Structure 1
């Protein structure tokens, strides 16, 4: 008996993504008979299968260290560790990724909430999760317990990956994987956007096929990665590496006291509801008279682009706004050109969306960005940008 698959592919926004797979079996090597998709009986059955065969989850080796793990934001389905010591959260869904209780919003928001809760866990915390999981594997006779040799997570990691890591290098990154029988087009598009914004997010389809002419035939399992990213982004940070949360938060926390009152915020987190782990976080003022579409952006790219840049943007992206009069908003910004330029900012007279007002620093290395005096300088200018922006739009 021989099995082969025909996988349709289609170009979409510069990427390849999978269409429904057609699988055939060559009966006695002669007659091709199509195998039909046979849905899993329940989400629990899907979880049981993936727990016992974790190689279906990703095209890389993963050590499962938790099942139905309770965290502050809920209960995650499976928790793993990759070869770099990063945590990997698996959110499983029977059927397509946006159906039933898992809406298109929740199927992406849930693993993000789980990853956020796991962000603060130390090696000792992960070791506690692993110890509890190891006990449950023995007590409940769960299959798929390979790699659980040893009394600690470090022992199991060394046995599973044939290498070891310092305890302090665990959990440098939090990875999220959506696993469903079908990843919808909308889920895939949303996941790609979040991935490009800096989240370590992947989507995987796992389907079961059975020979259409024989209900008693053994099923065939097929797994395919629909949304992926380069492995380099989750490799351990080198000494010259930089993280968005680290530098973005350092700058904003220094600037916050200067614009706390004008933005009507009690903490920096209120101004950045999406957090600081983005390539270009944009501040959302809480002042009721400040236009929602006017944002204050921070972009720190010393290695990729050799610069640090502040800007005022006018954008409705990600906002539920019926209409944004960009011409009127950018007109008010340009009316304040003298105020901005007196404080050393450049006002572009042709742009209507991004980088209308900017401040720019050329930097050669991460060391330049980590310099305390430099951070103070950028934070001071960022405070000026926000303050002048509020003087422009808020009637004081």
Structure 2
């Protein structure tokens, strides 16, 4: 089965788009595709992979859809009529891979972000419910419920497998980008648990962002998001020690960074910034590029980073933008200026462990060892990530008072 997993994962969204296009029902279509994938996983290791695996899956899924349609018709107490009814005539199938349409459907505005993430990983990513549960560190029953509710909400909203009208496309695409961004961030810095990284999520986010970029090559924000993912994930090999301990950016071995990913990311964001309207993902990617292109931490162009954060704060303000800008202020103007900026911004940032972690870092820069130690200890208590907690506790222990 292990050799079949990548093939089935790649085929799953293609088969789902074909079945939903034929029968017009995402709710039942997704269930039918899962049946077909299970049949393939069971039969192909014995019978061999068919010459046309996509066609095989579409046929099996369509038969499952028709069987379910007939069962539902019977349940509606129309048994006598059902004997003479035929299922709705399918629409002509095409060979198109409508990944964009499927992404837009999975990010329907009727769904919560958590449901959008789960449904996207299931329908577009091809992950099983168990795989999504492991990746998100939530019970499998929770994921199953989210997916079931999401499909029901899509059905209740009357959504069809078609591109949304032009006036809705910008907002729907923004939702897709946000969902991919959430998936990537949860994989790159897990919000809880024993591991800092969940590579299965970052890899899936990058794969889906590439597909989206292939379909919308002229969209600057799609390019910016893909660039941001590549430039960030390029540092992953140096971000932890062999024992899993966190290594901060300034202390990482930059020889371990993936230079091919950095080159691709820089090229993407450079082209987007010069040919399209500037957006927040492009600015975040540009910041990541400045970090990645610096030969050493001391060579980082902090004035440029501060300027980029100023621009990002104007067009897409938010707590994390504010906090990261505080760090840039400190690196350019000194720790005292950074602490003043943090104090001014703190009411909007209250409760997040990274506020205490940044304060600790700035107090340490300013020479206040006792204050830094207390702030590191506070941050360690607040985080749910075991690697981050261990790192912050170690910094607290190392900080002289």
Question: Do both proteins adopt the same fold according to a TM-score greater than 0.5, normalized to the shorter chain?
Answer: no
TM-score range, shorter chain: under 0.3
Normalising by structure 2, we get a TM-score of: 0.27
The normalised TM-score by structure 1 is 0.27
Higher strand fraction (1 or 2): 1
